[in-house]
Structure 1
Amino acid sequence: MTTIGEIGEDALIALFVPRLPETDAEILGPGDDAAVLSVDGHLVVSSDVLVEGRHFRREWSTGADVGWRAAMQNLADIDAMGAVPTALQITLCAPSSLDVDWVLDFADGLREACEPHGVGVVGGDLSGADQIVVSVTVLGETHGTEVVTRADAHPGMVVAVSAPLGAGAAGLAVLTAGVDAAPEAVQLFKRPRPVVGAGLEAALRGAAAMMDISDGLLRDAGRIARASEVGIAIDSAAVPVHPAASVAAQALGVDVLPFALTGGEDHALLAVFPSAGSMPSGWEVVGRVTEEFDGVRLDGAVPESLGWDHFSR
């Protein structure tokens, strides 16, 4: 094993950068003080962070898994605005004892996730740290379309999701329990597979409000409700549950529905449409927008649990 401390920063960059994906929007990429991109329409920017021990564990996930997750959860954020992801900036902080191969696998995971979507890694930074921390800034462009925010849901509209939910949370539960079961759910936790482009299609079909489901359906529905100053009523019977989540729940002997209602990490989209007839194919109505109350309700009641909170555990 060769560590990053043994080869040094410049040698690591020389090995790391050639493995990264490129984008047609790139005018100047890695290697200078800043990247230069061409942009069509408005620039859309988001950021995220993954911390070892909190968002991933090396005993569960390979470097490629972490690279894939770092890319996909950020591409989903741009898609949730109805925009097209273009490029990533990646900052990797790591202990000097980290194996060089882990870093190269991380780059491979980024490339595997980004290349099908024409997204490049155009720069970033490396730093020493006591644990692995990955910080991502993602850039996108609108190509002349209007961005979709969380703030334009109106009473009478329908609330829908772009895909079945719960597999990511179920996979995490299986890993945490140390149970050898539900491999599809485990894989979907390690490598979420949002349909990048579903957000743009939803925007073109008239979505009034939209966001990426990263912290659970109920919590994220509440965020749209607050931003739009409305109420959102969720019907639990209408929520589509991923089959892999059902397999995991059976193996663990637990109810599957909480995985779909309060588990995040699937990175499917939650959107509000004027009517069910205006939705793209494949979306499922899970509730409605109302002025009868504020916030989110589940089957008419205040939910006992909403989902992931980064500072509650």
Structure 2
Amino acid sequence: MKGTVGELGEFGLIRELTARISSTPAVRLGPGDDAAVVAAPDRRVVASTDILLEGRHFRRDWSTAYDVGRKAAAQNLADIAAMGAVPTAVLLGLVVPAELPVTWPTELMDGIHDECRAAGAGVAGGDVVRGETITVSITALGDLKGREPVTRAGARPGDLVAVIGWLGWSAAGHAVLSRGFRSPRAFVEAHRRPEPPYAAGPSGAEFGATAMTDISDGLIADLGHIARASKVRINIRSVALDVPAQMSDIGSAVGVDPLQWVLTGGEDHAIVATFPPETKLPARWRRIGEVLHPSALPRVTVDDAAWDQAGGWDHFGSPGSPGNPEPAA
């Protein structure tokens, strides 16, 4: 489609976006009315929201609109799964400049739709607004299916710590892109389009996970949330962490210990959880550590020592996090 968002107009853009989505059984009433209606059989709704800002969370010279759509949906749907819930629907808030080609928001919607389909969710509606900076806001909803939510506060001393999904791949991909390269492609694509293990959240809950979270800010940072909420110490064993050979090659090329990416790189949206010590872990989960009594303040250690290297993302901290690229100077 040719033309700009301004030439198409607000309602024309809405028509183009809504024409690109399909419904699911959970979305009882989708776009076209004052509000959507989403089924909530459990009588409780799990909800999460995130915002992606151009230049802060994505760059158009690095990622296509479709990539951004997949990523925007994935990071919210992963939060739903990490509570032990099944994703049901998302709502989109979109801010775009009038001069933006219409193809950008329509391809964005294609990405959102496809990621929702991968998670079993539907697009229930949203809003579009004119603004100077592209901003994508997603609200995701989920169903607990009669289970209690798995929070960050349930880890107990003696529990084992396990993870499912990739760690450090997005950060390694960011390092590649930052130096003007586009390969190894697997790591670049991991940065552009994370692949959360959606089914692992509800599966982990069924296997008795005591605490759970997705890896959005980095393994140490996100396990730190569990440690503080549960008032425990969590120890990670570095020997149990997977560092692929290609990641080591990237690290050697850019002068970074790849273990740094695995421990502190964000935006992979893997899921990490704690389980009772006798648990036989579900398929593809890997044990990486244990929950201990806190010796002082609740914290995360690596091989029983503090990890004192920089890492993890704080939106109000220093810019340039591997998971949250700043525009090139």
Interval containing the TM-score (normalised by the shorter chain): over 0.9
Q: Give the corresponding residue for 2:301.
A: 297
Unmatched segments (≥5 aa) in structure 2: 320-329
Q: Relative to 1, partners in 2 of residues 1:24 and 1:36: Cα closer, same or farther, differing over 3 Å?
A: same
Is residue 273 of structure 1 aligned with residue 304 of structure 2?
Answer: no
Report the equivalent of 1:36: 37
Which of 183, 186, 199 does residue 184 from structure 1 map onto? 186
Aligned match of 2:316: 311
RMSD: 1.4
Asked if 2 retains the 8 angstrom alpha-carbon contact of 1:81 and 1:199, the reply is yes
- Cα contact 1:88–1:136 (8 A) shared by 2: yes
TM-score, scaled to structure 2: 0.92
* Kept after mapping to 2: 8 A contact 1:47/1:136: yes
Could you say what secondary structure the match of 1:264 adopts? Answer: coil
CA distance in 1, matches of 2:185, 2:91: 31
Q: SS of 1:288's equivalent?
A: strand
Pairwise CA distance, 1:249 = 2.3
For the Cα contact (< 8 Å) 1:75–1:85, is it kept in 2? yes
Deviates more, 1:17-26 or 1:122-131: 17-26
Q: How many residues align?
A: 313
Query: What is the letter of the counterpart of residue 307 of structure 1?
Result: G
TM-score normalised to the size of structure 1? Answer: 0.96
Which residue, out of 167, 170, 173, partners 1:171?
A: 173
Q: Which residue of 2 aligns with 1:11?
A: 12
Do 1:92 and 1:134's aligned partners in 2 also have CA atoms closer than 8 Å?
A: yes
* Aligned residues of 2:29 and 2:36 also touching (Cα < 8 A): yes
Matches within 5 A, 1:1-313: 1-41=2-42, 42-242=44-244, 245-275=247-277, 277-293=279-295, 294-304=298-308, 305-312=310-317, 313=319
CA distance in 2, matches of 1:173, 1:276: 39
What is the alpha-carbon distance in structure 2 between the residues aligned to residue 242 and residue 85 of structure 1?
30
Cα distance change on mapping 1:51 and 1:276 into 2, 3 Å: farther
Contact 2:251 2:258 in 1 (8 A): yes
Check whether the contact 2:207–2:279 (CA below 8 A) recurs between aligned residues.
no
Please, which moves more after superposition, 126-135 or 289-298?
289-298
Structure 1 SS opposite 2:19: helix
Q: Which amino acid aligns with 2:300?
A: V
Counterpart-to-counterpart distance in 1, 2:276 and 2:205: 12
In structure 1, how many angstroms separate the alpha carbons of the residues matched to 2:38 and 2:10?
A: 25
Q: Is the 8 A contact 2:152 2:212 kept in 1?
A: yes
Distance 1:142 1:204 in 2: 11
What CA deviation, in whole Å up to 9, does each residue of 1:211-238 have, x standing for no partner? 0000000001110000001111111221
Conserved in 1, the CA contact under 8 Å of 2:182 and 2:188? no
